[in-house]
Amino acid sequence: MGSEVLAIICGIAAAASFGTGDFCGGFATKRSRVYSVLVISQLFGLALLAGMAVVLNEPIPSGGNLVFGGLAGLFGTLGLAALYIGLARGRMGIVAPVSAVVGAVLPIIVGIFMEGAPTGGQFIGLMLGLCAIWYLAGGGGGASLHPRELGLPILAGLGFGFFFIFINQVSETAIFWPLVTARIVSITMIFTLILTRRQTIKVPWNRQLLIIILAGIFDTAGNILFALASSLGRLDISTTLTSLYPAGTIFLAWFVLRERLAPRQWFGVAVTLVALVLIAS
């Protein structure tokens, strides 16, 4: 099996993992404080990454790889903060799709400059993938768009895009330790925010804790799978496939919580399937 095929498989698996992690995290925040969910899931993910690095005897990489990991954690956390603030202040139907598409477009542009243009079929698949991300994340609802609403979603998308770009810089032999560095930076920023806002962390010693731990596991797995996908294949393709993660979230919301999906989201699912075929061709 060629590396490009493995990269596509890892990209799709990363999307499924991120989507499941977001579902678990969102489900947990319905009954637990969001800061508690973030801290517990991030700490568990850190322990998991460090443990895997030690068990698999991954050598400690060069300082450059660790710096790239730290930058990924910095931008990823800034993107998440901008997304949460944007969702609190603006309309989810605008904030979510704009941030998702911007987060995919930036690595696509960088990937084309670094690795050259993809094939014609793959390029069409990438464009269809961007359309699918928009519809899966809730875009296309017909709501009017005001320029002042774009600031935070664009900032969030830039944060996520730079996260993908910097994680792509880690080498094939240095996956876990750079991700450990990214997670340490992320946790440090979250704790700083908690202390600044004088929030408290409460561990739910019940079934909720298991759901939060699952959120951390799937989020960590998504990071690992994306790092593998981008090291095995093209950055633009890996990012587009990974950014289809809303499909996993909305599927679980439909299957587990019996939430009704909007027609545009079903359309996004259909476009996703077409995009996957073209990207894999």
Domain containing residue 186:
3-280
Rounded to whole angstroms, how far apart are CA atoms 46 and 216?
A: 9
Rounded to whole angstroms, how far apart are CA atoms 116 and 90?
A: 37
pTM: 0.87
Neighbours of 251 (CB within 10 A): 18
Residues in the chain: 281
pLDDT tens-place values along the chain, 281 residues long: 568 889 899 999 999 998 888 888 878 877 777 788 888 988 999 999 999 999 999 988 888 888 999 999 999 888 888 877 776 676 666 677 778 888 888 888 888 888 888 888 888 988 988 888 888 876 665 555 566 667 888 898 899 899 999 988 876 668 899 999 999 999 998 888 888 888 788 888 888 899 999 999 999 999 999 999 988 888 888 998 988 888 887 788 888 877 777 788 788 888 888 888 888 76
Do 242 and 226 touch, CB atoms closer than 8 A?
yes
Number of domains in the chain: 1
| DSSP secondary structure letters along 108-163 | HHHHHHHH----HHHHHHHHHHHHHHHHHTT--S-----GGGSHHHHHHHHHHHHH
